[in-house]
């Protein structure tokens, strides 16, 4: 399941990310066509990352993609001709802002972010080869409460929406492997003021090629993953350009009770890595200010509406954090057809 909860923070909003993920190992045992498809999608994502070149990912520690959001049925979209609403609720709390060595920068730092991001996804009845076509839009609302370096501010408002104009969606003939890929576009219309430390939007465009997959090796097991890149334009109000980043979300879920197959438990997490420097006026800032973070935690979900919808609750504890806030994420997700 895709995401969209307002921007996460290094200094004043929310965040997190990953580095290594052998997605080809995950799909061992799938039929040849599925493996070829996954290789193609991985190639698509990595090639786009290479060609997009320079961009930006974390002014003030912020990033558009809410790392760790996609940890259940990542590769699933509505059936052709149908629309679904994905509701993402997140509460993030942090009392630590780390430098490039993981040391605290401000003993009085405190950040609390509450977010709700409804996402509407529709799968069209058109096909291009083996792929269905789909589109989605997300409209995040956030409340940001931050105390840092002697300042305290609260901001409530709309975050930056995400447009997914064209997604390529694949389901294998056996119906146990789902995947889609395409670009997300983050539109800078959220609440923003360059003189504030608490902002709901980031005031810059981002383009995010991404790939999502879900494999169901049996009726009880689920393996899901996401590779999500983020390339950002310059913030025209500050002439600041954050470095490029990549996030990996993943989960392994299991349904332990045959008499209650709707119930599923999972171990899930994420990793974030910024791989180019932040820049001001196109000059790298000292040290680069490259962010990284990881998170891990439990997840429980329950199918509703005969399996056409679901409710999920999860927790993630961040660790190995550099150049951004380190804290705890609490999530609730509710999905149903429209």
CATH number at residue 29: 2.40.160.40
**Mean local confidence (pLDDT), 178-190:** 97
Listed residue (148, 142, 144) closest to 96, CA to CA: 148
- 284-308 per-position pLDDT tens digit: 999 999 999 999 999 999 999 999 9
**Residue 5 domain-assigned (yes or no):** no
- Domain with 111, as residue range(s), is 23-337
Coil/strand/helix, residue 50: helix
- Sequence-separated (6 or more) residues with CB below 8 Å from residue 26: 215, 223, 225
- 81-131 per-position pLDDT tens digit: 999 999 999 999 999 999 999 999 999 999 999 999 999 999 999 899 999
Listed residue (237, 188, 214) closest to 72, CA to CA: 214
The pLDDT, as a whole number, for residue 34 is: 47
**Residue 163 domain-assigned (yes or no):** yes
Q: Please give the Cα distance from 287 to 218 (Å, whole number).
A: 47
**Residue 51 domain-assigned (yes or no):** yes
- Sequence-separated (6 or more) residues with CB below 8 Å from residue 96: 104, 109, 321, 325, 326, 327
Mean per-residue pLDDT of the chain: 86
pLDDT band with cut points at 50, 70 and 90 for residue 29: very low
**Mean local confidence (pLDDT), 317-331:** 98
**Residue 13 domain-assigned (yes or no):** no
Neighbours of 270 (CB within 10 A): 29
- 215-233 per-position pLDDT tens digit: 999 999 999 999 999 999 9
The pLDDT, as a whole number, for residue 60 is: 60
- 188-215 per-position pLDDT tens digit: 999 999 999 999 999 999 999 999 999 9
- What pTM was estimated for this model as a whole? 0.82
pLDDT band with cut points at 50, 70 and 90 for residue 32: low
Split into its structural domains, the chain has a count of 1
**Residue 14 domain-assigned (yes or no):** no
The pLDDT, as a whole number, for residue 157 is: 97
The pLDDT, as a whole number, for residue 12 is: 34
Listed residue (304, 324, 259) closest to 102, CA to CA: 324
**Residue 166 domain-assigned (yes or no):** yes
- 137-161 per-position pLDDT tens digit: 999 999 999 999 999 999 999 999 9
**Residue 290 domain-assigned (yes or no):** yes
- 238-253 per-position pLDDT tens digit: 999 999 999 999 999 9
The pLDDT, as a whole number, for residue 42 is: 46
**Residue 12 domain-assigned (yes or no):** no
The pLDDT, as a whole number, for residue 332 is: 98
Q: With a cut of 80, say whether residue 50 has pLDDT above it.
A: no
The pLDDT, as a whole number, for residue 59 is: 63
């Amino acid at each position: 399941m895709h995401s969209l909860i307002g921007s996460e923070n290094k200094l004043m909003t929310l965040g997190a990310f990953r580095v290594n993920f052998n997605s080809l190992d995950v799909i061992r045992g799938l039929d040849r066509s599925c493996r070829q498809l996954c290789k193609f999608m991985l190639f698509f994502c990595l090639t786009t990352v290479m060609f997009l070149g320079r961009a930006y990912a974390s002014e003030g520690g912020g990033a558009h993609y809410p790392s760790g959001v996609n940890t259940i049925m990542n590769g699933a979209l509505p059936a052709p001709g149908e629309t679904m609403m994905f509701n993402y609720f997140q509460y993030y709390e942090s009392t630590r802002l780390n430098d490039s060595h993981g040391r605290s920068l401000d003993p009085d730092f405190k950040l609390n972010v509450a977010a709700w991001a409804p996402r509407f996804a529709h799968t069209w009845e058109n096909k291009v080869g083996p792929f269905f076509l789909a589109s989605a839009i997300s409209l995040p609302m956030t409340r940001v409460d931050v105390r840092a370096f002697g300042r305290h501010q609260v901001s409530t408002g709309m975050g930056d929406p995400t447009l997914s104009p064209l997604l390529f969606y694949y389901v294998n003939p056996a119906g146990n492997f789902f995947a889609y890929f395409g670009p997300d576009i983050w539109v800078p219309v959220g609440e923003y003021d360059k003189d504030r430390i608490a902002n709901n939007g980031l005031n810059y465009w981002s383009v995010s090629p991404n790939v999502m997959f879900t494999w169901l090796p049996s009726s009880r097991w689920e393996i899901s993953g996401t590779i999500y890149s983020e390339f950002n334009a310059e913030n025209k109000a500050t002439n600041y350009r954050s470095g490029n980043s990549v996030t990996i979300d993943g989960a392994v879920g299991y349904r332990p009770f045959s008499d209650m197959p709707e119930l599923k438990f999972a171990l899930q997490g994420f990793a974030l890595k910024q791989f180019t420097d932040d820049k001001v006026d196109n000059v790298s800032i000292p040290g680069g200010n490259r962010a990284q973070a990881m998170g891990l935690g439990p997840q429980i979900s329950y199918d509703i509406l005969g399996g056409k919808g679901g409710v999920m609750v999860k927790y993630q504890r961040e660790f190995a954090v550099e150049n951004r806030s380190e804290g705890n994420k609490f999530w609730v997700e509710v999905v149903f057809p429209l």
